[in-house]
Structure 1
Amino acid sequence: MSAPLTRAELRRLRAQRPLFTARFWADTAERVITSAAGGALAVASASTFVLGAPDSWAAMGVGAGTAALVSLLKAIVASRGGTGSASLVPNV
């Protein structure tokens, strides 16, 4: 069993892997929520969407869920870039 990490080691780990910071997860949550909303809106605006049809609502759920999942996975991959955010591009 390894010894617990010191504060300095935790800071260094967070600097290397933003995946372990609250800032990263807040950024990721915002991106996932807005992506899900965009996916739902895209399906709802399709000409085949029928307000009273259960299949249309299921399609909306799939669209929103897929967009959210892609956003989450992209954020996790982007965390390896070391920018501290869920973005693939460096801060401007």
Structure 2
Amino acid sequence: MQEKEELLTLHDEEQKREVNLSFKTLVMVYLAVFIALALFLPKIYIANQIYYISRDIADISGKRDMLLEENRALSIKLENLRYKNQILNNMQERQWK
């Protein structure tokens, strides 16, 4: 009976003892977190940079399209003015003759 009580006492003492993380386990966890951050932070940074650059490209592309359309409109106006000028010059030359 006494052996049983001794075993129960040892078991109770073992159960009461706190089990903390060892230094080695703590270092391993910190190392794993550091490696994970080292792997994923550059990817996140690069993805953000690609996003912002693509936004800038889209903005510049929209401005380029607008300028091309304005250039077409101005070319048409210039062509109309040249045509009008040629007609007026021909009419003025005929008047002077």
- TM-score bucket (shorter structure): 0.3 to 0.5
Instruction: Give the TM-score of the pair, scaled to structure 1.
Output: 0.35
Which has the larger share of helix? 2
TM-score in terms of structure 2 length: 0.33
